[in-house]
Amino acid sequence: ELIYETEFKNSIDAPFPCGSEVYIAFHAEAIRVDGNGNQLQAETAWAFGNFEYSGSRWGWYSSYETCCTIIQCPTETCYNLDFDIDGQGNQIPHGTTIGDSSWQPWSTWGITITSSSPSSHPLRIFDTESSEGVAQDPDLGTPNVDFGGPGIGSGGRMGEPGANTLPRSNVLIINKDARAVTNDFARGGIITFTLNPPKTVYGLSMVDADRDELENHVVLRDSEGNQLVDVPLLALGDNSYQYNYFN
């Protein structure tokens, strides 16, 4: 007789500040034994989701779920700059040019955005779920095809460190050129967020950090221009997703 036993153990890295995306991860261990209780095989896997169960069950847990929880702020105002809506709550459509001398959607929040080459490589809003956007750049799609989405790329597949599991709607890109087609610029550039008055930045998410892109990083400075942190972004591959929490 073959018996499978699965144990789920809560594994949360806490505490997280308000505005953070927190993934609830459970480690599943399956032990295969014979009728005399002798171990034949052990398998381990990670299951992700918003679960509360802890303990042992018979049978192998085979589904793969992901859920995200946003930690709310009890005493301060947090701005979730997700590029989906402007500071007035209006939806921002795919292909909108923002920043620099163009429209500043979050100026009412005290946030302005500039870039290193606005005339030749303007900042654009890219809808990662739209057929129009993904047709031009499928490695920016969310979620990855493994999770029922339009995203194409090995870095975002199931089981990868950069598994691209959820729909992310809009992201901000440096555009390939100044023409109407919205597509990211492979050589990149610098995007500067100016926060006035100064604000605490808790984290940043990124889609599609290719494995040869080893120079991506985020620098945070205080109001005097002094560097506070310099966080390298992980090169997790085509269509990968990552969230970087700043201590």
Is the pLDDT at 115 greater than 90? The verdict is yes
Tokens of 112: 């302005």
Question: Does residue 124 have a pLDDT over 70?
Answer: yes
- Looking at the predicted structure, is the pLDDT value of residue 214 above 90? no
Mean predicted lDDT score pLDDT of the chain: 77
> Alpha-carbon distance 87 to 67, whole Å?
26
Nearest partner of 132 among 150, 148, 147, judged by Cα: 150
Measured CA distances, 34 to 31, 44, 57, 107 (Å): 10, 18, 17, 66
More confident residue, 33 or 83: 83
Rounded distance, CA 92 to CA 137, Å?
Answer: 19
CB 149 within 8 A of CB 127: no
Position 133 confidence tier, pLDDT thresholds 50, 70, 90: confident
pLDDT (0 to 100) of residue 89: 94
Residue 155, C-beta contacts closer than 8 angstroms, at least 6 positions apart: 162, 164, 208, 209, 210, 211, 236, 237, 238, 239, 240
Report, as an integer, the average pLDDT of 5-31.
42
| Per-residue confidence (pLDDT) for residue 213, from 0 to 100 | 85
Of 61, 83, 80, which Cα lies nearest the Cα of 71?
80
- pLDDT greater at residue 24 or residue 87: 87
Q: Do residues 34 and 40 lie in contact, with contact meaning Cβ atoms separated by under 8 Å?
A: yes
Phi-psi region of 239 (alpha: psi -120 to 50; beta: other; left: phi over 0): left
Q: What is the DSSP letter of 184?
A: B
Q: 173-201: per-residue pLDDT in tens?
A: 999 999 889 999 989 999 999 999 998 88
Write the CA distances from 214 to 134, 139, 144, 211, integer angstroms. 24, 18, 22, 7
Which residues, other chains included, contact 2 with Cβ-Cβ below 8 Å and sequence gap of 6+?
A: 32, 33, 34, 40
Domains of the chain: which residue ranges?
3-66, 96-245
- Answer for the pair 47, 64: CB distance below 8 angstroms, yes or no: yes
Q: Is the pLDDT reported for residue 218 higher than 70?
A: yes
Per-residue pLDDT, 238: 95
